[in-house]
Structure 1
């Protein structure tokens, strides 16, 4: 099993078909799928890095197709990890039955007035996010949500738009003139993009509503240092025969050190390790290395809803297993 979350292929969904455009004189931006960047949720990232002048924008096509829109609004949710001045939005291209073209910018959160004045000449409509939240487990990820109603139109293209909002200027002391700064650093990571036409309720059943079991548990020695290997099949279901249409479950493990050993070396902090994703209510763990001095392991089943929301890890169903021989 790879320790790089991006390599968990089961966490991948539709992959972007990249094509770039932008003003070459406004900087130098590169787009790549970078497996070294921390992942939003065990899947892939798109990294935009380089330099970009404040009055230029860079566009990279993500998807191209034909998605017919009905009378209900379409909801867009996407996650971004960036430095303070690097902004990333989404541009949408629509076509009507009469071949009328319209472009819409789903802008990044920020100053609405500055955003509108910057892009009103470039797009038919500019929409600010109606909700902006931060990922609880990693505050550097910002999740932005926007909605748009385009009945009778077909969504044909989605682009990522990289830009900076405030032009940076300085004055020459000798001439007293205002001059634009040279292209400045730009870095932003697009973690995921979800599109749906439903307003869904992301309430999750409490962890006590689930029955989690470990079957075919097998412990074996790993090396002379006392570490162990664990094989186990995790299975879970809602109690009382209830069913719920959850599309997938993220699987994490937390290794609990022996308290006496942890207190002696000051390593009491526990970290959840991402293992993978399950699309059924079962997951097989193979050859999980458990270091010596570990008293128990906890497997966490993080429930994912249809709208992409994730149950908090501390509120998710879990299974505790004592380390054999500890």
Structure 2
């Protein structure tokens, strides 16, 4: 993908790479109109800054050359765009493409950081052009250091966590000392500027300047390993190479990332659906793994469909290495199970858009689904992108058939949440008349022996003897909705939990049917018969009891419009484009995680102040940034004013009343 012909000109914001040294050294990227839209808005959690002392998994993106649907930083219209949501199975994510400087799009950074995963860009030289680039940037020590500092600045200002270095060309021996100074300076400066950052060396050129893949850590590439944070070994390793590499690394064995090419191509075990073979070998020898090209599932159209195939492939990784990321681990914790794509968009149970969309920045915490327990049920659990969600584009749906004495359970999250004071838990459910859904909370052992707590909706106890398996049963109460429509089918359940001194280790779902006497339709009492079951979970929230986030008043925000331009099409319909930015006049906005953008088109016969959700306000987009570009918004004849509303969304999943949200008014030109 080539950069925009004139990156300073206002246009729909995109992510793009830096393709030449001149652009890198001149810092002209920061003069681009697109730059502020590419700044990530989700920082790496403090708990994830320190690199874990265990085996790790690095995932290298490599999908169709990079910058496809994900280049549209404000989102696109392809609900089937490539993405993944199995962040809990990795520690490091590398955005890779075959350009000089690959800058990760902010959607990937935001989604990864949400789950505690570090993100690296790529600095790559290859082929004859790469040799010429190396002649320039490795011409002197001063030159190499300057380019290293440019890379540090890019990572720092865009909000990602380091670099994969891929010098895939032969070098002259006199360039090697300068290359080592480049690596060392880049690594040390990254550590100083971006705490927890990583610089990873790819196994290609050797210490004598030859382009010779070693497929292991040895004396020919260890001098590079010694001055950075790790090595990504090429994927054609043999059975003994991981063990030998670990021995060479000594107490840094976890910094050795042995490559596995999902496409195969000579990789140990064959990759593809046999990726577990390589992973099992690395687990046995206690070194880290670098998975290259998981987009193979999408690009080769593995059946029966991408969602199913992708989940199946990543389950292979989980079976080998188990779950690596744990959440919740801090409060407040909230998830709407949004995968960052869908065919509709909802806010508070009200559908505000009915068209396909994709935006990875919108990903919420992803559930770690695992149907580990069932009593003769035929229930399936899946992310439902088709039906109306509670917030975003998806929900967790359990659907199938259950007997009156049956139940179905599935894991949602694996956490490490230490409870030091009472917490409140809220969840939103939509179901048919006879299907019920509860939550199961698991706690680490303690002197009182309480390990599992069951939360059930009001007095709707299961008919089966399942309740005897739990140490405590809490009956939840129906809460007050923050719905935008009284017709919402979602029911909110609230409960307070006091488990001070305990550690919450798991959150799960429990599905069961109403007792026949409570059901709205006739259910059989025969244990062998089954009835339809369908219920969806749209949101879950945990926070300290009694605490809530207060939204600043509309006049607490500075909201501005820039780069305003008007145009007309061949039919004479007017359109406007503009950049809108917003920030608090004082204080921090860390408590606010996202923003919904609406526009109200006001005609002469309307009250400009009359904004409600009866259709007069049109949903434009959701964003996690404090900036949005409105592109060619059509303005019908008779419209005299436009009101752009920025609806503030808090980190606990609540959102501001649209009528109280900050507004940018714009008078229609030439009306």
TM-score class, shorter: 0.7 to 0.9
Q: What TM-score do the two structures reach when normalised by structure 1? A: 0.78
Structure 2 Cα separation of the partners of residues 294 and 278 of structure 1: 33
Q: Is the 8 A contact 1:56 1:163 kept in 2?
A: yes
Specify the alignment match of 1:237 in structure 2. 583
1:218–1:232 CA contact under 8 A, matched in 2: yes
Displacement of 1:137 in angstroms is: 0.9
Instruction: Tell me what 1:256 maps to.
Output: 601
- Residue 310 of structure 1: which of 655, 659, 671 is its match? 655
Backbone CA RMSD of aligned residues: 3.4
Matched, 1:20 2:371: yes
SS in 1 for 2:480: strand
Comparing both structures, which one devotes a greater share of its residues to helix? 2
Q: Give the alignment of 1:148-297 within 5 angstroms.
A: 148-167=497-516, 179=526, 182-197=529-544, 199-221=546-568, 223-239=569-585, 241-243=586-588, 245-256=590-601, 258=603, 269-279=615-625, 282-287=626-631, 289-290=633-634, 292-293=636-637, 295=639, 296-297=641-642
Instruction: State the match for 1:7 in structure 2.
Output: 358
Secondary structure of 1:272's aligned partner: strand
Looking at structure 1, the residues matched to 393 and 369 of structure 2 have their Cα atoms a distance apart, in angstroms, of 17
Q: Number of aligned pairs?
A: 307
Unaligned runs of 5+ in 2: 1-75, 78-342, 346-356, 606-613
| Correspondence for 1:95 among 438, 444, 462 | 444
Residues 271-324 of structure 1, C-alpha deviation per residue, up to 9 Å, x if partnerless?
Answer: 531501225xx2222425426347243322222334332211222222232444
**Who is 2:459 aligned against?**
111
The answer as to 2:425 corresponding to 1:76 is yes
CA contact (8 A) 1:251 1:299 kept: no
Deviations 1:58-109 (A, max 9, x none): 1111112333322x0132222222223222221011112569561111222x
* CA radius of gyration, larger in: 2
Pick from 449, 470, 476: which aligns with 1:129? Answer: 476
TM-score (norm: length of structure 2): 0.41
Asked if 2 retains the 8 angstrom alpha-carbon contact of 1:119 and 1:126, the reply is: no
Distance 1:45 1:30 in 2: 14
Correspondence 1:130-145 to 2 at 5 A: 130=477, 132-138=479-485, 139-145=488-494
Provide Cα deviations, 1:159-200, integer angstroms capped at 9, x if missing partner. Answer: 11112222369699xxxxx65694222222212222233532
How far does residue 259 in structure 1 lie from its aligned partner after superposition? 6.0
Q: Does 1 or 2 have the higher relative contact order (CA < 8 Å, sep 6+)?
A: 1
Give yes or no for the alignment of 1:32 onto 2:32.
no
C-alpha distance in 2 between matches for 1:294 and 1:56: 60
- Asked if structure 1 preserves the Cα contact closer than 8 Å seen for 2:575 and 2:634, the reply is yes
Partner of 2:340: none
Distance 1:53 1:275, change over 3 A: same
The question of 1:54 aligning with 2:404 is answered yes
With over 3 angstroms needed to count, the CA separation of the structure-2 counterparts of 1:271 and 1:88, relative to structure 1, is farther
How far apart in 1 are the matches of 2:360 and 2:542?
20
| Alpha carbons of structure 1 residues 229 and 198: separation in structure 2 relative to 1, 3 Å | farther
